[in-house]
Amino acid sequence: MGKKGLIVCVCQGTCPSFQKMNVFNVLNAIRRKKLVDFVSLHPQLCAKDGDEYLRTLLSNTDIDRLYVAACESHMQEKMFERAFNDAGFDPSKHSSVDIRNMNTEEAVTAITKLIEENP
Ligand code: SF4
């Protein structure tokens, strides 16, 4: 069975939108729930090296679903389109949630809901 992974992206960790949450506690909560096979944190997924990260990760055809908790969903789709194409990753396997301005608990709830609703 294919793997499921979560990437959290936080605008370099300096954007005020991500100051209310502790990203490590968010990631650990999702790990404890065992909802995905792997979790990771990227500081700027829409930058050039973020594209490279996505390309490298998703060239692994074993990955069946990618959850990205970051900024607005539609923006994510547009920003990651090229990297998905380059990696041959079907964009319908990407599920996104906007966690800006949430605290730790709210982010965990939103990510949990995303994963459960998009198995
Ligand atoms: S992908 Fe979204 S959350 Fe991540 S750095 Fe870019 S704008 Fe910020």
Q: What is the pLDDT of residue 98?
A: 98
Q: What is the pLDDT of residue 42?
A: 97
Q: Is 42 helix (H, G, I), strand (E, B) or coil?
A: strand
Atom of ligand 1 nearest to the CA of 42: 4
Give this prediction's pTM. 0.97
Low-confidence ranges of the chain (pLDDT < 50): none
Two tokens, residue 33: 């729930």
Domain ranges of the chain: 3-117
Cβ proximity of 37 and 1 under 8 Å: no
In whole angstroms, what is the distance from residue 95 CA to residue 111 CA?
10
Atom of ligand 1 nearest to the CA of 100: 3
In whole angstroms, what is the distance from residue 45 CA to residue 23 CA?
15
Q: What is the pLDDT of residue 1?
A: 79
Ligand 1 shell residues, CB under 6 Å: 9, 11, 44-46, 70-71, 79
Q: CATH number of the domain at 3-117, out of 1.10.287, 3.30.420, 3.30.70, 3.40.50? A: 3.40.50
